[in-house]
Amino acid sequence: MILVSEVGHAVNPAGVKGLGDLGNVGTAAAVASAVYHATDKRIRDLSIRIEQLIT
């Protein structure tokens, strides 16, 4: 294990740095893909609403 002796000043109240949106990059694409496979209708703009699926 390597420990770095630098002090990070840009941390949240818990004292850790987060990855931000990196963990959510594929979420919207996965939901849109699931909607496409369930309804056979491709929705290309977010947010996906029921009105877009029934028209």
pLDDT per position as a tens digit, 1-55: 676 666 667 777 777 776 666 667 788 889 999 999 999 999 988 889 999 998 7
Q: How far apart are CA 17 and CA 55, in angstroms?
A: 44
Q: How far apart are CA 55 and CA 50, in angstroms?
A: 9
Q: What is the pLDDT of residue 37?
A: 96
Domain layout of the chain by residue ranges: 26-54
Contacts of 10 (CB under 8 A, 6+ apart): 17
